[in-house]
Structure 1
Amino acid sequence: MWYMLTMEYYSILRNDSELLSYGMKTTCTSSPVSNDEQKKRESIRFLTMSGHVGFENLPDQLVNRSIQQESSHFAHIHMNSKKVICQPIVDYIDAQFEAYLQEELKIKRSLFNYYDSRIHVCLYFLSPTGHSLKTLDLLTMKNLDSKVNIIPVIAKADTKFKIKLMSEFVSNGVQIYQFPTDDDTVARINCAMNGQLPFAVVGSMDEVKVGNKMVKARQYPWSVVQVENENHCDFVKLREMLICTNTEDLCEQTHTRHYELYRCCKLEEMENKPVSLQETYEAKKHEFHGERQRKEEEMKQMFVQRMKEKEAILKEAERELQAKFEHLKRVHQEERIKLEEKKRLLDEEIIAFSKQKATCEIFQNQSFLATGSNLRKDKDHKNSNYT
């Protein structure tokens, strides 16, 4: 109902604006007029419109205004190429091959102690759409199948979806890793595992109680999917194939197939590239200069690091000596205070002893004088008796 009222209101406004515009731009000539009226109309000054008249949000006026404005134009539009998306992965794999190749080209090489960082297997996770392989996944796998061993992995799938993916791999020429069947010891199990590709894997870190034991599983409202149950997912099969059964074959395929292909292409580029003696000299000079700068920088960093460590050790020793000095100073101060206290007590004892000594001497003198006078009196008394 609101839409109908709006359309009616719009038609009324549009008709009014058209009539208003028509009346302002033209003169009415349908009915005959007198000479006086004609002169009055001729004396009236008409103004021409410089813009839109009426409502600015009417559809026809918006269209006319947008047509008059110039549209922005970009000469070059960069579209995201699907090949660019997988280029960082390809560059990383090539970088590991290049590092191993440079180690092989050294005069004094030590491949026995060299850390092999080449990629031996790529677990490519496919989206479980249930329909077909995505174009992005197809292009990425086609760029990677000549550089690394690809094992496709999907989150969940049924038998028909697995068969459809394998048929798309074959029809599009995507070479995934096939477990070897030439060894009699593992031929039977590898042949069976090749029929299970791509693996449907479920992962979980949560533990769920199933029966009398705790297992890693995913808890759903309708059931429990156990990670290490082969009837629920292919995680155990994938782990056995990678770690226990085909580890050596993966490394061998990487070295004899993918790395040798990369090495052959690089050597062909080096042979086909015309390089003069001066260019070789400049390249070697630049390489040695960069190596020298790198070593100088490493030595500087090592020197700075050692200086920092030495300064830290010296600061720690200085801090320990300062703490020891403060401790000895505090002990010496305490001992000095104790000695001063003992000296004060001894001085007081000496003064008291001196006072006692003086008193004793006075008493002794007094007793000596008294004794002398008594003896003199006795002597005089005796002499008087004799006479």
Structure 2
Amino acid sequence: MKDVSRPTDSSLINSQTPSFRTFELKEECGINNLPNQIMAKTISDGFVFNILCVGETACGKSSLLDSLFNTRLDSTPSTHENTRVYLRKNTYDLFEREIRLKLTVVETAGFGDQINKDDSFKIIGDFIDEQFQTYLDEELKIKRNLSNYHDTRIHVCLYFISPTGHSLKALDLVTMKYLDSKVNIIPIIAKSDTISKNELQRFKQNILNELNLAGVKIYRFPTDDETLAEENLKANNLLPLAVVGSNETVKVGNQYVRARQYPWGIVQVENENHCDFKKLRESLIEKNMLDLIETTHSKHYEIFRRNRLTELGLNDNIDGKPLSISDTLDMKRNELRQELEKREQQLKEAFIQKVKDKEIDLKEAEKQINEQLTNIKKQYKDQKDKCDEKWRILEQEMNLFEQRKRANVGTIKKGTKKK
């Protein structure tokens, strides 16, 4: 009987690239409601945004955040007495026109206050990696629930630079270099109202030159969207943004505005002629918040994920061919088996070598013992010979003594008889 093999499922599919045909529907079927569905679900679920604020103590981190979100976020002021750097984390639910934002703010405390600052940036980097690891653990679960998972990955790092007016501190440069592959960094000059405009421009240029020289990659607002390109380009040209924050309101004209009041005048927080705060809020919240979230997931998290999975021995492909999970597991199992066999062989060789070394040691010990025994026997023989010689001499002396004794006794007896 002729064997007729059944074609596989893959053979039934045209391997050539399929051609697509475009149809304009004559009547609506509901496709145009997809954006509305997405919008309704997004509004229902709300948004998550996580900010990391890095900067020295009392550089205005809390007041700037209050100004950014037009509210008074509860925060505890830190002192300069911290012996180490630690992070304070607070989560808030913000509502604006029925849109809910779950905002998490992580602030550094004690940053730059220690004499030894070597580990300051590592604590921050480890925290960012921990959030990536937590998300990866959830992602790798057999039964995962990412739709209800509270994402704690840091979406942006606002790096507060103290207004020295000269150049970056070494700690700032090292920290930003360490973090630039882990998070979107937006450098900002804190309390920029404490230096003059001319000094501020020179300070900005010095900062950019040092960042470029050190190869630090800061976040650039995207310019590929035509609707945002012009505004984002302006914001990029202002980096690092010079900002001022305040929780006080001052009456200017007929309205109250956030400002800082000095004897010489008023610095308005949202006045673009006074500082870059308004540009920061527009670029960070109004225009590019979604891009920051997506960049965190598609760039920084992917770098961490790829490195972590590579450490675990999982590869996407080999020789340019994609690998399935089962293939990857089989390959990893074979690698472990080979490693086990190699280790077992090494242990056997090490054991055999130890046995050989021990045999050599035992033979050497036996040789030494035999030599010692030979020496002892020789010493014993020498001593015995000496003793025998002394005994022979002693016997001769004793015999001679007996002979003399008998001779003397005989002489005495003869003398007695004569008398």
TM-score (normalised: structure 2):
0.46
The structure richer in helix per residue is 1
The structure richer in strand per residue is 2
